């Protein structure tokens, strides 16, 4: 099969999944459970040797996100390493009010995506894994590592297409179709960022599962 044929079937698959996703959300919305929000209070402001401070988002950023709840927090450890946590929470998927992929947003704000890989991290203490993306980004003056994923009622997913399938599945099963976008960013090495993600994940799961 040549590339044109592959491209054709990819487009057909995407159209089919999008139609299925839209139909499932509409037909399942009357039966789906009602989302009750995300409990940001379950996410500690201090964990091990990391302390943090919350920061408000700029009004124009809030206007673009159209999320129901947001959290932007910067953690610093005793060695001076900094890691930023951003969470956007959407109670349902209204038109224009859905998670934005960093792959689309970052280039528009001056950041280049150097690499983007798939990874998996097991939560400390309970062994439950999170499927996530690891990206290296740069704006010419600064290079950071970034971990991000989407949390749904049927688990964590990495890609936007997987998000649509997960939400359609949840709607058909009568689950809430809320979703959280979770991002960790830092200039420290990747191992430190993954270690922090592993340490924080049980609290993130608790915050979303209320």
pLDDT(78) > 80? yes
pLDDT at 43 over 90: yes
Q: Is the pLDDT of residue 106 over 80?
A: no
| C-alpha closest to that of 205 among 83, 46, 43, 53 | 43
Q: What is the number of alpha carbons within 13 Å of residue 73 lying toward its C-beta?
A: 20
| pLDDT at residue 30 greater than cutoff 50 | no
Length of the chain: 210
**Containing domain of residue 16, as a range?**
3-208
Q: Give the DSSP letter of residue 104.
A: H
Query: Nearest to residue 14, comparing CAs of 198, 174, 194, 163?
Result: 163
Confidence at residue 85, expressed as pLDDT on a 0 to 100 scale: 96
Q: DSSP labels for 107-122? A: HHTT-EEEEEEEEEEE
pLDDT tens digits for range 135-159: 888 888 888 888 889 988 888 888 7
Mean pLDDT to the nearest integer, 72-99: 85
Q: How many domains does the chain have?
A: 1
Q: What is the average per-residue pLDDT within 37-52?
A: 94
Query: What is the share, in percent, of the chain residues with pLDDT greater than 90?
Result: 22
Distance CA 96, CA 37 (A): 19
Q: Specify the pLDDT at position 44.
A: 96
In this prediction, residue 207 carries a pLDDT of 93
pLDDT given at position 185 = 92
pTM value is 0.77
Q: Look at residue 91 in the predicted model and tell me its pLDDT.
A: 87
Rounded distance between C-alpha atoms, residue 175 and residue 153, angstroms? 7
Q: What are phi and psi of 192, to 5 degrees?
A: -65, -40
What H or E segment, with its residue span, contains residue 206? helix 190-208
């Amino acid at each position: 099969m040549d590339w044109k044929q592959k491209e054709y079937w990819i487009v057909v698959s995407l159209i089919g999944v999008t139609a299925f996703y839209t139909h499932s959300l509409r037909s399942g919305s009357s039966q789906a459970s009602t989302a009750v929000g995300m409990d940001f209070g379950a996410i500690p402001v201090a964990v091990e040797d990391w302390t943090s401070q919350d920061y408000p988002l700029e009004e124009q950023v809030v206007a673009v996100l159209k999320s129901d709840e947001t959290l932007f927090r910067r953690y610093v450890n005793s060695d001076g390493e900094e890691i930023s946590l951003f969470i956007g929470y959407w109670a349902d998927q209204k038109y224009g009010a859905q998670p934005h992929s960093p792959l689309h947003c970052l280039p528009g704000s001056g950041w280049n995506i150097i690499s983007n890989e798939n990874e998996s991290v097991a939560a400390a203490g309970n062994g439950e894994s999170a499927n996530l993306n690891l990206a290296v980004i740069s704006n010419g003056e600064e290079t950071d590592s970034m971990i991000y994923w989407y949390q749904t009622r049927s688990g964590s997913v990495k890609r936007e297409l997987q998000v649509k399938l997960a939400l359609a599945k949840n709607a058909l099963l009568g689950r809430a179709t809320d979703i959280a976008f979770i991002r960790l960013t830092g200039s420290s090495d990747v191992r430190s960022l993954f270690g922090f993600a592993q340490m924080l994940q049980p609290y993130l799961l608790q915050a979303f599962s209320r």
